[in-house]
Chain A
Amino acid sequence: MITLEKNPNAEALDAVVIRFVGDSGDGMQLTGTQFSDTSAMFGNDVATFPNYPSEIRAPQGSLYGVSGFQVHIGSVEVSTPGDNLDLLVAMNPAGLKTNLYAVKPGNTIIIDSDSFTKKNLEKAQYETNPLEDGSLENYRVVQVPMTSLTKEALKDVEGMDNKSITRSKNMFALGMVYWLYDRNPEHTIEFFEKKFKNKPHLIKANTKVLNAGFFYAETIELIPNSYSISPAKMKEGTYRIIMGNTATAWGFLAAAEKSGRELFLGSYPITPATDILHELVKHKHFGVKAFQAEDEIAGISSAIGASFAGDLAITTTSGPGLALKGEALGLAVMIELPLVVVNVQRGGPSTGLPTKTEQSDLMQAMYGRNGESPVIVIAASTPANCFNYAYQASKLALEHMTPVVLLTDGYIANGSAPWKIKSLEEMPEIKNNLVNEVKENWHPYDRDEDTLARNWAIPGTPGLEHRVGGLEKDRITGDVSHVPENHEIMTHTRAEKVKRVENYIPEIQPEFAQEGELLVIGWGGTYGSLHSAVKQIVEEEGYNNIGFAHFNYINPLPKNTGEVLSRYKKILVCELNNGQFVNVLRMNFEEQKFHQFNKIQGLPFANSELIEKFKQIAK
């Protein structure tokens, strides 16, 4: 057991960005998660992002088989997983080769030198060994024979074969990084005790390797000093680290409990949305009905059936799946039932870049159906607020009797961050449009005067038997109608119902300059990158005439959007697509001129490229 004394010489830092990289079987995701959890418990703000290949087990040592996990920890607010690495931990040559670009000269690289064999160098397409050819001389390279040190540490532990020994070398690296950043390994040791409850030899082995790494870092002179990142100033409360997809799933659990409706999920596995299904199937104790259907269409169709029967019904997918769900989503528009469709966006078109992030499904969410088919479109913007927007999507669907598309993306869905836990008592009420008794002259399409939501009579209710369907309905009786004027009125009514949601959502509130030279606009998962770049240019570079407006509500837009736009001379819309939200704004605010900044590389915005663009526009 380690008795940890605070290193008096530790250098205080505001924030550091660390990336662990190795083969997809090297346990990098676990290593990164342990480091970020420990840091969060210590009180740091954290943001993480996993980066893994779309192949489950790509050939060992290959460039495309590299798996990485990035952690950004800070004593200050941290809103992205970070751009430039302060530390790269590379478990093999392929990891070094594919990640070196992100390390600023002068920063540290810890390398498992045992892995730099001739064979691995060849697999990584190195002609010469970078540890010997001088190509790394601008970096602080710490070569550690981790494989052999791990073997040495475990030579007396029984029950460990060669393969298990090699597989635990990631804990040696973690131990070193714990020492380097003044972290207590205790949390990880507790994790071993839980995970390997019935395998005491694995608890012993992993603990031993973790400690060996920790002490090794302390002992060797290669690392002359360590750093400390003090706790961040965060709002008082109880926190946990949460992944975006988990937060989305929990938002639905909360909405179901608050609304008193049972939760039904109809879904088909698709990257990067499947973790929502994985999470919800665990919660049968809350009465969650999670149905893995035979395809995307059955996923949404079963949800529509469940909604007809009175459940809070959702379906989860990613871009290609939303395309398949289009026709059924139109049915839900026509029969005016509550339904939430989550689209965790990824790079497209077609199969595209399944494990990379993009914001290119906005137009599909808005318009990807036949006919005049309006739906509410909202977007979460951080891993933690996926909870709020899943909750809000459910609330809007139930209160306005319409499908809602909730957009998240691979970046925030797989990223994690501290979440100040919301207890159910803090969440807003959720009303519904259920009718329970027979009223004179009742019709299934009777509407609420304010929201235009139709009433919701569910099977099992005597006297309210009625039929719905994809054919156009008479606006009064709800019977099938092909009357021309009626179709026009119903089309306008469905559009107006969605439009009126603007009366129930918050106004847009810009951050930083409230008027002036430039308004930076973003939506969805880019909040972290945009916020920190605007913050930097305003607070550190003196551009105090730049404002920042980030949209979570896309359709309808917040009511004051036009007024906010008019306060700035220039408007710059930044998106990870070829320009989609900018065109929604152009369509709605013809009088404005919009600049745009687009990136379509499957990657988030980098701080430096944003700042450069802001300067170019703001002059």
Chain B
Amino acid sequence: METTVEKYTYKDFANDQEVRWCPGCDDYVILRSVQKALPETGVKKEDVVFISGIGCSSRFPYYMGTYGMHGIHGRAPAIASGVKLANPDLSVWVITGDGDSMAIGGNHFIHVLRRNIDLNIILFNNEIYGLTKGQFSPTSLVGQKTKSSPYGNTQPPFQPGELAIGAKARFFARIGGNAPKEMTDIFIEAQKFKGTSLVEVLQNCVIFNDGCYVKYTDKKVREDKQLFVEHGKPMIFGKNKDQGLVLNGLKLETVTIGENGITEEDILIHDAKTEDPTMHQMLVRLEDPLVTGIIRSFQDVTLEEREDALTAQIKAKSEFRKTNDLFFSGETYQVN
């Protein structure tokens, strides 16, 4: 059904519920960025579904004006897969956190990425458990003192991008929680991308892990400590746009343009669309600078496309149209 409604604004995707996150939480930024991104995607409001698990971030669907389900801990990717397979015309979003996706829901997280169903996953990574009041998470750092690691965390963390690309993610982006404009653009691209897109937001928890990303996201250091990549452009960063990445053997190295004969020509061009994940893995592992933006965006066949093609093929060949055709087929016999 074609509608000729005027273009949506972010208000169309909000509702009348009072938002109950802590004041100053990056979750507000993410909520507003999503509400601003959706009008730009051309998707009809009634076709949008938000599915979440459990945790602070997972209250998200309650604050949207779309269809939504606040699910159970870790299972949002599985619930969302069911929604999408039942009705592939829907735009289905998964809202999850670092504990929800990589601890209790780790299994669903890797398998949803492997299958490549057309879902958009937003991972709120704050490196801590917020809703249960401050235990370490699978992305907390070694040595981090939390309520459940008073002497320092002894469990080494996952790096979400590394895990995701290892699990065959076709689309991976990372963005700071204080960068609403870039975040909005990434969400628009994630929605446009056919396949599972994963966006990791470096989300500051003001209560239990405040400042965990300041060394990358603080406005004073951001340009020097973050490399925001764009497909087809040289990987250059820094206040003076004079820092760039080159390959030295099997390692990425930062060089300064204009020193030691280095010119812009020598700087690596970002290819997000290549199937080979080797460079993408190197980029997600880099800590100085930290790479943000769309790191990987490889267009592949989706699960729905495979299923649709198979179903069409089987329907064309099958002699069964109605269940009666099946029930009375083959070896039946009469009793008189």
Contacts and interface: CB of A to CB of B under 8 A. Distances in A.
B61 to A, nearest CB: 5
A237 B67 CA distance: 48
Contact of B51 (A240, A305, A422, A466): A305
B334 to A, nearest CB: 6
A238 B83 CA distance: 39
A328 B75 contact: yes
A257 B325 CA distance: 12
Contacts of A352: none
A465 B15 CA distance: 10
B285 to A, nearest CB: 26
A470 B310 contact: no
A424 B328 CA distance: 11
A257 B68 CA distance: 27
Nearest to B50: A467
A306 B49 contact: no
B87 interface: yes
Interface in B202-218: none
A239 B46 contact: no
A480 interface: yes
Contact of B83 (A295, A308, A468): A308
A295 B333 CA distance: 40
Given A465-B46, A468-B70, A284 B310 contact: yes
Contacts of B107: 294-295, 298
Interface in B311-325: 311, 314-315, 318, 320-324
A264 B67 CA distance: 20
A460 B67 CA distance: 9
Given A423-B327, A467-B69, A470-B72, A240 B83 contact: no
Interface residues of A, number: 69
B81 interface: yes
| Secondary structure class of chain B's binding surface, majority of residues | mixed
B62 interface: yes
A432 B22 CA distance: 41
Contacts of B336: 236
A328 B105 CA distance: 13
B85 interface: yes
Nearest to B70: A469
A41 interface: yes
Contact of A466 (B67, B81, B87, B334): B67
Interface stretch (A15-23, A309-317, A354-362, A539-547): A309-317
B82 A309 contact: yes
B320 to A, nearest CB: 5
Given A328-B72, A424-B322, A240 B82 contact: no
Interface residues of B, number: 58
Interface in A290-349: 291, 293-295, 297-298, 301-311, 313, 327-328, 331, 335
Contact of B332 (A239, A285, A301, A479): A239
Contact of B327 (A250, A303, A465): A250
Contacts of A327: 72
A262 interface: yes
Given A234-B335, A460-B89, A469-B69, A421 B328 contact: yes
Contact of B66 (A298, A310, A465): A465
B250 interface: no
B44 A462 contact: yes
B78 interface: yes
A301 B328 CA distance: 34
Contacts of A466: 67-68
Interface string B35-47: 0000000001111
Contact of B330 (A240, A303, A460): A240
Contact of A289 (B66, B85, B321): B85
Interface of B: 3, 17, 44-49, 51, 54, 61-62, 64-72, 75, 78-87, 89-90, 107-108, 111, 307, 310-311, 314-315, 318, 320-324, 326-328, 330-336
13 contacts: A237-B335, A238-B333, A250-B326, A305-B78, A308-B67, A328-B75, A424-B324, A460-B87, A462-B45, A462-B46, A465-B65, A467-B70, A469-B69
Given A284-B310, A424-B322, A467-B62, 16 more contacts: A234-B335, A237-B335, A240-B327, A240-B333, A254-B327, A289-B307, A294-B111, A298-B107, A301-B78, A305-B83, A313-B86, A423-B324, A458-B87, A465-B45, A465-B46, A469-B61
**Top-4 shortest CB links A-B:** A305-B82, A469-B70, A302-B82, A301-B78
